[in-house]
Amino acid sequence: MVPVNARKSGQQTTVRFLNPKGGYSVLLEGRPSRTIEQLPGPEVLYLPLVSRRFTFSEVLVKEGEQVAAGQVLARDPDRFSLPLLAPQSGSVRLKAAENHIVLENLAASPQRVHVADERPSHAPRESLSVGEKREKLLALGAWQFLCDAHTGELPDPSGTPRAVLVSTVALDPFLARGDVQLRERLTDFARGLEHLQSLLEYQPIYLVMPEVQSALASEVREMSRGHAWVQRVEIPLRYGMDSLSVLARRLGLMRDPQQPVWALRTEGVFAIDNVLTFSLPCTERIVSVGGPAVESPVHVRAVPGYPLKAILERRVTEEYVRVINGGVLSGEAVGSDQLGLDAECSGLTVVPDHVERELLAFVRPGWNRRSYSKCYMSSLRKPFVERLTTALRGERRACISCNACEEVCPARIMPHLIHKYLYQGALDLAERARVDLCVECGLCSFVCPSKIELRQQFVDAKEQIRREAEEAASEGGEAV
């Protein structure tokens, strides 16, 4: 665990990491502006039944059925019956698109409460018990914004956390940062923190913010001082340091299945406030639309199911592009069969897709490519914003043991060593080298001069370890 510096301010303690190892400032072209645009009402919604964490396999509506905004369309039976809610009223089409619920003949979007004088300054008192509040959050779609800090899985609404991490920091270059979402809504955020505290007993709440000096940061610090039960944590602005798992470990909150650490980001606090203050379903998200192939990158307010084509067609003019669901270093390519935003989408990153092999790419000096390891001519330039594409820009090589991946790894593991174990087929040694601690930030792959897909190797290795553990447990149970 990295040592921390704790400085008291009144009754509150501010935690700062001392000489934190890992992380890297990623400068890429296509970062969205700080403004948030409201998308026009769609003609049709395509709600995917599968997202990164959830599979809404229990469909509760029928072909042609008329549904109201906020009505439950489907549930994930393996994750506490998490609901997929209808963002707007409309008629159901189940056969129009595979693995989607399509809504047509849409009514106007419900009016949101965003006017300052209509919002109370503090969380209203409720007669609901803690259990009833948690059930309300689950039923109205806010619970999906919570996760186990170490595993990323949805926490048990009836469980008891060891602590709660609230992070306002998102350092991926293309996702909505906390400052974008907090502007003009700091009162809502403070009220959401009060609601969050009411869901707990004596567990601490850690408020994570960047270690910066700005007017908004000062407002957040001042707001947090009025909440003695909040412990403020300030971290450096290096991508990877904002990982919820890394934050938990560096605060000494190690993984314990019996006492999980709950975590949520800025929009999760807003979702809690939306449900417990106004009893409104959470059917809107802030989605970043950015990347080198996007003209005028922007943040938008959108509902799940909003057609991807309608979002991208006015902003992407290049013929060949790759659309990524999430950040460019850790997201997943959007399949051609996905037609609308899924229930968890926080960003669409679009990069040019090279369809032809570059001639003599292996001899290119890399004047326009940033290099952590100083192996390109760009090391002679001052820091600049890189235009990232899907081109390999050279050939893959064997690991050269430069240790660049270890230097940037926020989880403090040795990716180059784990790679060599996996290359040898020694999964047990990779497990002993703690591949399980990989937070899948993608920095190791990004800085690797040999262009090795380290992140994907570790994702696959962790999945194989998980499957083998389940098989061993199953065989042990049958033997008994």
Q: 188 and 53: one domain? A: no
Specify the pLDDT at position 1. Answer: 44
Q: 65 and 84: one domain? A: yes
Residue 388 burial by Cβ neighbours in a 10 Å radius (0-12, 13-18, 19+): buried
Q: 145 and 12: one domain? A: yes
Give the list of residues 6+ apart from residue 117 with CB closer than 8 angstroms, or none.
none
Q: Average pLDDT for residues 123-134, to the nearest whole number?
A: 84
Give the list of residues 6+ apart from residue 3 with CB closer than 8 angstroms, or none.
17, 18, 19
The verdict on residue 377 lying in a domain is no
Q: 98 and 179: one domain? A: no
Q: 69 and 21: one domain? A: no
Specify the pLDDT at position 14. Answer: 79
**Residue the block writes with tokens 């602005």:** 237
Residue where a domain stops, chosen among 328, 352, 376: 352
Q: 308 and 233: one domain? A: no
The verdict on residue 245 lying in a domain is yes
Residue where a domain stops, chosen among 214, 249, 278: 278
Q: 272 and 287: one domain? A: no
Number of structural domains the chain divides into: 3
Q: 103 and 217: one domain? A: no
Specify the pLDDT at position 478. Answer: 53
**Residue the block writes with tokens 């001899």:** 363
The verdict on residue 269 lying in a domain is yes
**Residue the block writes with tokens 């914004």:** 145
The verdict on residue 232 lying in a domain is yes
Residue 476 pLDDT exceeds 50: yes
Lowest mean pLDDT among 52-56, 134-138, 303-307, 368-372: 368-372
Give the list of residues 6+ apart from residue 179 with CB closer than 8 angstroms, or none.
34, 168, 214, 216
Specify the pLDDT at position 4. Answer: 59
Specify the pLDDT at position 167. Answer: 95
Query: What percent of the chain clears pLDDT 70, i.e. is strictly above it?
Result: 90
The verdict on residue 435 lying in a domain is yes
Tally of CB atoms within 10 A around 355: 9
Q: Average pLDDT for residues 215-238, to the nearest whole number?
A: 89
Residue 360 pLDDT exceeds 80: no
Token pair for residue 425?
């087929």
String of b and e for 96-126 (b: at least 16 CB within 10 Å)?
ebeebbbbeebeebeeeeeeeeeeeeebeee
- What letter represents residue 316's amino acid? V
Instruction: Give the mean pLDDT of the chain.
Output: 88
Domain that holds residue 411: 392-470
Q: What is the pLDDT of residues 98-124, one digit of tens each?
A: 999 999 999 876 545 444 446 676 767
Residue 382 pLDDT exceeds 90: no
Distance CA 446, CA 308 (A): 27
User: Between these two residues, 381 and 251, which has the higher pLDDT value?
Assistant: 251
Residue 356 pLDDT exceeds 80: no
Q: What is the pLDDT of residues 426-448, one digit of tens each?
A: 999 999 999 999 999 999 999 99
**Band (53; pLDDT cuts 50, 70, 90):** very high
CB 207 within 8 A of CB 217: no
Helical H segments across 32-185, by residue range: 130-139, 178-182
Q: Average pLDDT for residues 68-92, to the nearest whole number?
A: 96
pTM check: above 0.85: yes
Q: 9 and 23: one domain? A: yes
Q: What is the pLDDT of residues 187-207, one digit of tens each?
A: 999 999 999 999 998 899 999
Distance CA 88, CA 45 (A): 9
Q: 246 and 233: one domain? A: yes
Distance CA 283, CA 212 (A): 32
Specify the pLDDT at position 387. Answer: 83
The verdict on residue 362 lying in a domain is no
**Band (339; pLDDT cuts 50, 70, 90):** very high
Specify the pLDDT at position 449. Answer: 87
Q: 289 and 212: one domain? A: no
- Helix, coil or strand: residue 265: strand
Q: 132 and 226: one domain? A: yes
Specify the pLDDT at position 2. Answer: 46
The DSSP symbol for 307 reads: B
Backbone torsion region of residue 476, taken as left when φ is above 0, otherwise alpha when ψ lies between -120 and 50, otherwise beta = alpha
CB 373 within 8 A of CB 397: no
The verdict on residue 404 lying in a domain is yes
**CATH number for the domain harbouring residue 260:** 3.40.50
Specify the pLDDT at position 11. Answer: 55
Specify the pLDDT at position 111. Answer: 47
**Band (308; pLDDT cuts 50, 70, 90):** very high
The verdict on residue 385 lying in a domain is no
Q: What is the 3-state secondary structure (H, E, C) of 209-257?
A: EECCCCHHHHHHHHHHHCCCCEEEEEECCCECCCCHHHHHHHCCCCCCC
**Band (283; pLDDT cuts 50, 70, 90):** very high
Token pair for residue 174?
């293309």
Residue where a domain stops, chosen among 322, 352, 382: 352
